[in-house]
Chain A
Amino acid sequence: MSNPFGEPDCEIVNGEILEGFLCPICHEDLKSLEFLTEHFEKTHAEEQDVLKSIFKDIFSKAKKKIKLNLDEKFDFSRNSDKSIALTSRIEETTVSTTNVRTRLNIYNFMDQQKEGVERSHIDYFQTVRNPRLERYASETNKLVIRLHKLVKDMPTDALLRKKHDQNIVPWLDGRSVKLCPNCAKSFHIARRQHHCRLCGSIMCQECSKFLSLASAMELASLTTAYSDSSKQPIISSGSTTSDLQRNGIRSCSHCFWLLDTRQEMHESHTCRPLITQIYLEIQQLRKNVTPDIDMYLKIIGSLYEGESILTLSDASALRGKIGQIAEAIDVHSKRILSLPCEQGSREESLKKSIRLSCIQLIKEKMLSLPPLPQEDEIRKIQDRKRIETEQRIASERKMAMEAYERYGLAVSTNTQKNTEYVQGCDLRSLDNWSARPVSTAGRTQNNDPLVEQINIIKGYIKQARQDMNFDVVETLETNLRELQKEFYERQKPLRQSNETENNKSRMDDH
């Protein structure tokens, strides 16, 4: 078949052979590719949105997957090739991001395996755990209040202190207690009764625990916590130093355990040693750099395709930025590695693996970025692309003309539209265009809002470039180009009549 965009379906059904740029939906002959796409965009925009998004992936996937139904596959792959060609054309001209997104969704949905079943038990877990915790919490709170009172103005003299303690927590009467409730050994002269200062209960010396004053102060929140609380357990069990026994607060094992648990929970909520802080910084850097890397790859890709919205200097600036972040990550991870820790401890291996993952990240993501293309190389690509577009336009024009001749339908409106469109297309792809409107703008400085707008956008672009906000640069640049095109097209009628009002209303549309 001479024309790759003809529809085979209609041949079969209508019995006669139609050739030319046929719309696959309404079978109208549209003479040229540009018309076909335009027609497609306008008339079938909605229905095609769904169709074309599905087509492209389904067919390519279907080809691979459904080898079973050979005949069907054959039938469809033929169609799919065409629809792919069509859709890719359409996508070139329309910049519809939503479209791309829906396509992606469908793609993901089909390619991805659904996660397996899961079942959560956390609700039941909590219904069992939380009442217990609440009970403990109220008990512990009571203890903390008592502790606060005990520690607040504690006398240094031993006798006075005993009195002070008994004042706050009434001690249990020891006469009826014959055995230590904890170890069940009998009390006598050698094994004397002792009282828990927190609940007043009785136990022997061996079963007593001691809370150091410092940690008691902290628990009662009279002093601020140690700076590196993780290093040193705040509550140390009593039997170690005699000093602690003399000065510390005697408590039974239950009260001690409650306070210990409280301390532990507090610690796990607030524990933020240096390593965590540095690690957070690294993660922040890592998070920041991912969009930059994507953007860089996008710029490089577009440069190789000969587009000129984002320039080589943009890419090199971004590359510099990525390099700086890589260095920062490197420095941070080295800092983590150099933090003091025990030899052969798990902390050491933790640091090593953090460092390893940072090195991996830098190596795989940042150092392996493709190099910047040479400037003259880009110029060559751009030249070649321009020539290609020109040739394409010329050949399309020729084909359109041939089509007219064949069918003898020289509808004048069509021709006009055609040339206009071609021109527009031409303008857009020529990139020496950014210079000319400026000069014209200089000439017609009679407060043309379009010119003003152009200048404003230019200012924005400059700012965005400085901030390396290349997403914004890209959208602004496309806007600018459209404005410039509009401005150019306005120029001719403008010279004839100054219909500023009309102009302004159209401007607002932008």
Chain B
Amino acid sequence: MSTVQEIKCIFIKKVNLIVQRLLQKVTMNLINGIRLYIEKMCSESGPGMKNMLLDRETTSIISMAFSQSDMLQREVYLFERLDSGRSNERMKYLKCIVFIRPTKQNIQLLANELRSPKYGSYYIYFSNIIPRTDIKFLAECDESESVREVKEFYADYLSVNPNLFSLNIPKSMQRLNWLPEALTRSVQGIIGVLLTLRLNPVIRYRAGSSVAQNLAKQIFEQITKDSTLFEFRQQENGAAPPLLLLLDRRDDPVTPLLHQWTYQAMVHELLTIRNNRLDLSNIQGVPNDFKELVLSGEQDEFYSKNMYANFGEIGSTIKSLMEEFQRKAKDHKKVESIADMKNFIESYPQFKKMSGTVQKHLCIMGELSNLTSKRNLFEVSELEQEIACKAEHSAQLQRIKKIIADERIAINDAVKLVVLYALRYERHANCDTSGLLQIIKMRSDQAHIIPSLIEYAGTHVRQGEVFSLVRITDAVKLTRNLIKGLKGVENVFTQHTPLLKETLEDIFKGRELDPLYPAINSELVPFRRPPQEVVVFIIGGTTYEEALAVHQLNNNGYRVILGGTTIHNSQSFIDEALAATEGLQFKHTKSMMKYYATSENF
């Protein structure tokens, strides 16, 4: 019987182990985090008809997590913006949930509202830490005793995917330094994420990047100041504390420049997603219902299944869905091209009922494939990937010259190619950027983009090995590259992997981080062990390609949250780089002087 008991013991121990592990592994899902907050707001105000008073940013924060009908179910029937278009209608029989960011302007507006209240009772929620003086000010204004609740709920970021957030700051830098309001917003956004997920992290920043260091300092100060908020249960088993990693976009300027082929990234690159919404109103031939589309994985099953799938896969998924329907409709007309599919859809109104979403995605896919063929994107993208991943200077230079001179290639794509080349071979002996610049100059007035981008993210700022240039000293990297080379390339259009992926893999392997990513609060790192949870924030914007990399890591059991000041596509990235270098004196591109945008740059 003793052996039996032994088995029993082992068994129970194993079960306990698993329970423990699962309990530690609380899911990190930002959309859920926001939802929980908002649900709590709705339930705390009790039953009854409700109005929601929001500001510009909180409106988008809520709309990323809930649809309007979701809110109707929670008895929220009206929405109002605190900062614009207010009516004077008194509705004392309504409860009012106020969810705003704690800005000076908002506080003032709310004070006015409380002095002459239009609603019966007020439940006030601020999306971030609010100074006590502001609370006092508001309390003095509430003369009719209509405020029932004042709370901080830290839903202060836009949750794009469960593991991706953005702060919608399209331009974060000026003369390569923080714009003050962008810095404050970033601190608040990151604090919001940390508090939503209940993390008190080690803060590491990219060494040598003054913006990252600055942000790290400010976050650290905020955490120290409000340390009571960050008192979470310590992990008893000695697991490493979570990590907040502050990176600089300029370390990897390549990823946002490349053309993308996975669905979400591609849609953003070609059509631009704003707050999970897609605006197709200026594209011809789009039916009226599809002028504005919502692309949310929470509300759209097809999208959530396919947002990381690549272009070809989705095409075949849609095709098979339609063939299935065709079988049902007992019609064996062959569906071959996307145009065929469109015709097919229009002739079968039942199909509309069966899967309205598929029609929506078909519409998007149609537009994507249109643009792909119109802009010769297969050819361009292949070359982009070659430049990013392989070192064959002369051959690539020849191809670039040929392609950018071709009038069929859009000038934007040509500029991007030259930028990639210039970033890649900036220090190459035979670098011929000026020759390429001449060709661009002949075609358009966009040549100034190239020196600006090199000032923004040239070799002098970069630290990581964005182009996988092999250094003899780095034996690990060398072998890794060798293996990569031996394995061959599965898909020429998606051979590039973002630098972030390598960085994160290094982190989870427990590599030494201090030289490249020093910690600001090093007392939290008593010993070196890979962290369980990582929150990455990229100053200057993240990309959907990086979101894909993070998603893949999370699928392998790691727990990473990615965020950035914004989510870039190539155009918005170039715009941000131009804005950041505007008025700056250029030091590293004297050879391209004649292409500068303004005389200030001299």
Q: What residues of chain A have their CB less than 8 Å away from a CB belonging to chain B?
A: 9-10, 13-14, 25-27, 51, 54-55, 58, 61-62, 65-68, 76, 79, 109-111, 113-122, 124-126, 128-129, 132-133, 136, 230, 261, 264-265, 267-268, 271-273, 275-276, 279, 283, 345-347, 349-350, 353-354, 356-357, 360-361
**A-B interface pairs (CB < 8 A), number:** 179
Q: Which of A121, A129, A272 is within 8 Å of B140, CB to CB? A: A129
- Docked Cα-Cα span, A124 to B556, in Å, equals 46
Q: Report the minimum CB–CB distance from B510 to chain A (whole Å).
A: 15
Specify which chain B residues have a CB less than 8 angstroms from the CB of A272 in the assembled complex.
93
Q: How far is the CB of B123 from chain A (nearest CB, A)?
A: 10
**Nearest Cβ distance between residue B199 and chain A, in whole angstroms?**
10
Mask of B16-57 contacts with A, CB within 8 angstroms, 1/0: 001101110111110011001100100000011100000000
Query: Are B73 and A360 in contact (CB-based, < 8 A)?
Result: yes
B78's nearest neighbour on chain A, judged by CB, is A350
> In the bound complex, how far is the Cα of B529 from the Cα of A183, in angstroms?
72
Cβ contacts under 8 Å, B149 to chain A = 120, 122
Distance in angstroms between the alpha carbons of A114 and B132 in the assembled complex: 27
Residue in contact with B92 in the complex, picked from A55, A116, A121, A267, CB distance below 8 Å: A267
Chain B positions within 8 Å of A345 at CB level: 87, 89
- Scoring A58, A118, A133 by chain B CB atoms within 10 A of each residue's CB, the highest score goes to A118
CA distance A67 to B152 in the complex (A): 37
Closest CB-CB distance, B26 to chain A, in whole Å? 6
Instruction: Assess the A119–B15 pair: CB atoms within 8 A.
Output: no
Q: A261: shortest Cβ distance to chain B, in Å?
A: 5
B145/A133 in contact, CB under 8 A: yes
Complex CA gap A417/B136 in Å reads 77
Please tell me if B239 contacts chain A, counting CB pairs below 8 Å: no
* B78 and A54 contact, CB distance less than 8 A: no
- 24 CB < 8 A contacts A-B: A58-B19, A66-B21, A68-B557, A113-B32, A113-B33, A113-B36, A116-B153, A117-B195, A118-B152, A118-B153, A119-B129, A124-B135, A125-B135, A133-B143, A230-B93, A265-B144, A268-B92, A268-B117, A268-B144, A271-B92, A345-B87, A345-B89, A347-B89, A353-B78
Decide if the interface of chain B is mainly helix, strand, loop or mixed: mixed
Using known A-B contacts A230-B90, A276-B49, A357-B73, determine if residue A62 contacts B33 with beta carbons closer than 8 Å.
Answer: no
Tell me the chain B residues, 75-97 only, with Cβ under 8 Å from chain A: 77-78, 80, 87, 89-94
Q: Which residue of B lies closest to A116 (CB)?
A: B196
A22–chain B nearest beta-carbon distance, Å: 11
B72 at the interface (CB under 8 A from A): yes
| Complex interface residues of chain B between 133 and 171 (CB less than 8 A to chain A) | 135-136, 138-140, 142-155
Contacts of A58 in B (CB 8 A): 15, 18-19, 22
B198 touches A54 (CB 8 A): no
Q: How far is the CA of A361 from the CA of B25 in the complex (A)?
A: 36
Residues of A within 8 A of B28 (CB): 113
Does B109 count as interface, using CB distance less than 8 angstroms?
Answer: no
B155 to chain A, nearest CB (A): 7
B77 A353 Cβ-Cβ under 8 A? yes
A349–B4 touching, CB < 8 Å = no
The answer to whether B150 and A120 have CB atoms under 8 Å apart is yes
Whose C-beta in chain B lies nearest to the C-beta of A342?
Answer: B89
A271 closest partner in B (C-beta): B92
CA distance A114 to B36 in the complex (A): 8
Q: What B residues does A51 contact at CB under 8 A?
A: 12, 15
Q: CB < 8 Å: which of B7, B37, B69, B150 contacts A9?
A: B7
- Output the nearest chain A residue to B21 by Cβ-Cβ distance: A66
In angstroms, Cα B6 to Cα A9, docked, is: 11
Contact B120 A271 (CB under 8 A): yes
Residues of B within 8 A of A110 (CB): 22-23
Query: From B148, which residue of chain A is reached at the shortest CB distance?
Result: A122
Contact A356 B3 (CB under 8 A): no
Contact A119–B37 (Cβ < 8 Å) = no
A25: chain B residues within 8 A (beta carbon): 4, 8
Residues of B within 8 A of A122 (CB): 147-151
Does B286 lie at the interface of the complex (its beta carbon under 8 Å from any beta carbon of A)?
no
B87: chain A residues at CB < 8 Å are 345-346
A143 → chain B closest CB, angstroms: 15
When distances are taken between beta carbons in the complex, the residues of chain A under 8 Å from B37 are: 115-116, 118
Indicate which residue in B19, B21, B135, B197 contacts A54 across the interface (CB closer than 8 Å).
B19
Of all chain A residues, which has the CB nearest B40? A115
A279 to B144, CA, bound (A): 26
Complex interface: chain A residues within 8 A of B557 (CB): 65-68
- Once the chains are docked, how many angstroms separate the CA of A120 from the CA of B125? 9
Q: Which residues of B contact A117 (CB under 8 A)?
A: 154, 195-196, 198, 229
Q: Can you name the residue of chain B whose Cβ is closest to the Cβ of A279?
A: B49
Residues of chain A contacted by B119 (CB below 8 angstroms): 268
CB pair B89–A120 under 8 Å, yes or no, is no
A338 vs B475: C-alpha distance in the bound complex, in angstroms?
Answer: 78
Identify B72's interface contact among A111, A261, A264, A360, CB under 8 A: A360
